[in-house]
């Protein structure tokens, strides 16, 4: 059974988040990408507590697409060390699952 995941990453610029999202969608590596504006991240960087307004991207995909998406994120991300994390999820509606699976290039495995 196919495993579904959400890959999350943050960006300082909306344009960068949109550009990478469109590349992933154009390659049919994800069914849906959600962009959330105006999040504030707090983190430790070089032994200091920092904060930054960012854009959160949630990429809904199949686990089999993970490596392809991570490669795009790493190759085109603006940050020195980008957040690239994922979580599993279940689809509880058959119609949504059918649509979700139909969005992928069947030649990509």
Q: Which residue's structure tokens are 């070089």?
A: 46
pTM of the entire structure?
0.92
Q: Rounded to the nearest 5°, which phi and psi values hold at 15?
A: -60, -40
Domain extent listing, the chain: 4-102
pLDDT digit string (tens) for 35-92?
Answer: 999 999 999 999 999 999 999 999 999 999 999 999 999 999 999 999 999 999 999 9
| Tokens read off for 109 | 């495995």
| Bridge partner list, 68 | none
Whole-angstrom CA distances from 4 to 48, 49, 63, 68, 89 are: 36, 34, 6, 15, 6
Q: What CATH class is the domain 4-102?
A: alpha beta
């Amino acid at each position: 059974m196919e495993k579904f995941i959400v890959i999350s990453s943050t960006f300082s610029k909306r344009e960068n988040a949109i550009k990478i999202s469109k590349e992933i969608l154009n390659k049919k590596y994800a069914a849906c990408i959600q962009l959330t504006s105006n999040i504030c991240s707090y983190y430790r960087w070089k032994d200091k507590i920092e904060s930054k307004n960012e854009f959160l991207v949630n990429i809904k995909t199949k686990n089999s697409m993970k490596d392809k998406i991570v490669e795009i994120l790493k190759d085109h991300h603006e940050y020195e060390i980008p957040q690239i994390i994922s979580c599993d999820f279940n689809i509880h509606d058959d119609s949504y699952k059918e649509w979700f699976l139909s969005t992928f290039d069947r030649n990509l495995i």
